[in-house]
Chains A and B, each alone.
Chain A
């Protein structure tokens, strides 16, 4: 369940890994762009935007932690401060979770061959929880924008 305490967004423990994975994807994408454009003199104008994206992601990773914890714990942060990184990361992760759902049947077939139980339902459930969380974050951001 998503909760807000004042300006704070509370990310449920079970979704912190998704947020972190999304942030690391955005970080990788920004770093790759920096690696490419910084060595091309004509491309250096694009650096600023990529550096800003990278800084925003780093700032939120500093808050939620760069690596997984066992067990995962909920995190809380000021959504107004980190809204761009949060949205970028969650959009990235939604796209990845769609792919996981599409591939779930094939994954389960491979798991069955190895004698492992199916994971499709769990994958779908996690994707649904993530979408619901993102919708809530967007609603909250709309509220902040109007406020």
Chain B
């Protein structure tokens, strides 16, 4: 394994993938907004298209679709730095919303006779935040610009 290799634990690969899909969606929206810009220039397309390509490149590495039995993923963090940070940032936002809604979700689940999920939701968010912090510390140690 290269010293720049990041290992994503199996239980967080789905989160990273979801974050990448969210980042892909954002980048696609940005491309669309440039197209509708009356004074558009070639430069205006460059960054959203580059972000789009970075996200796709990492999805090519970790896989685009959910797997029934996910395995850990590993890739060169230097190569996929921006896409990784972008995806984790977006997924943490979503996960934070899930925690806020957890009590309501559990109330609905209770009505259907299903067990609560709040503790599991919180545990997953904590694991995700911890992983993101580890990645950021790793990035800082690499001394490469984040943006």
Q: Name which of B4-12, B20-28, B73-81, B120-128 contacts chain A.
A: B20-28
Nearest Cβ on chain B to A147's Cβ, whole angstroms: 34
User: Cα distance A66–B42 when bound, in Å?
Assistant: 6
Given contacts A28-B32, A32-B32, contact A47 B42 (CB under 8 A): no
Chain A's closest residue to B66 (CB) is A41
> Interface residue count for A (Cβ, 8 Å)?
17
Q: Is B35 an interface residue (CB 8 A)?
A: yes
Q: Is B131 an interface residue (CB 8 A)?
A: no
User: Cα distance A141–B94 when bound, in Å?
Assistant: 48
User: Cα distance A38–B42 when bound, in Å?
Assistant: 25
Chain A's closest residue to B29 (CB) is A35
Interface residues of A in 2-52 (CB under 8 A from B): 24, 27-28, 31-32, 34-36, 38-39, 41, 44, 47, 51
B22 touches A35 (CB 8 A): no
A31 touches B64 (CB 8 A): no
Name B24's contact: one of A24, A32, A38 (CB within 8 Å).
Answer: A38
Contacts of B40 in A (CB 8 A): 67
A contacts, CB < 8 Å to B: 24, 27-28, 31-32, 34-36, 38-39, 41, 44, 47, 51, 58, 66-67
Chain A's closest residue to B36 (CB) is A28
B42 touches A67 (CB 8 A): yes
Contacts of B25 in A (CB 8 A): 34-36, 38-39
User: Cα distance A32–B32 when bound, in Å?
Assistant: 7
How many A-B pairs have beta carbons closer than 8 Å: the answer is 45
User: Cα distance A54–B31 when bound, in Å?
Assistant: 11
Contacts of A34 in B (CB 8 A): 24-25, 28
Contacts of B41 in A (CB 8 A): 67
Most chain B C-beta atoms within 10 Å of own C-beta, residue among A24, A28, A41, A66? A66
User: Cα distance A36–B18 when bound, in Å?
Assistant: 13
A66 touches B29 (CB 8 A): no
Q: Is B114 an interface residue (CB 8 A)?
A: no
Q: Would you list the 4 A-B pairs with minimal beta carbon distance, nearest first?
A: A35-B28, A34-B28, A31-B28, A38-B21
Contacts of B21 in A (CB 8 A): 38-39, 44
B49 touches A38 (CB 8 A): no
Contacts of A47 in B (CB 8 A): 64
Give me 25 A-to-B residue pairs in the complex whose CB atoms sit less than 8 angstroms apart, sorted by A's number. Answer: A27-B31, A28-B31, A28-B36, A31-B28, A31-B31, A31-B32, A31-B35, A34-B24, A34-B25, A35-B25, A35-B28, A35-B32, A38-B22, A38-B24, A39-B21, A39-B25, A41-B18, A44-B21, A44-B65, A47-B64, A58-B49, A66-B42, A66-B45, A67-B41, A67-B42
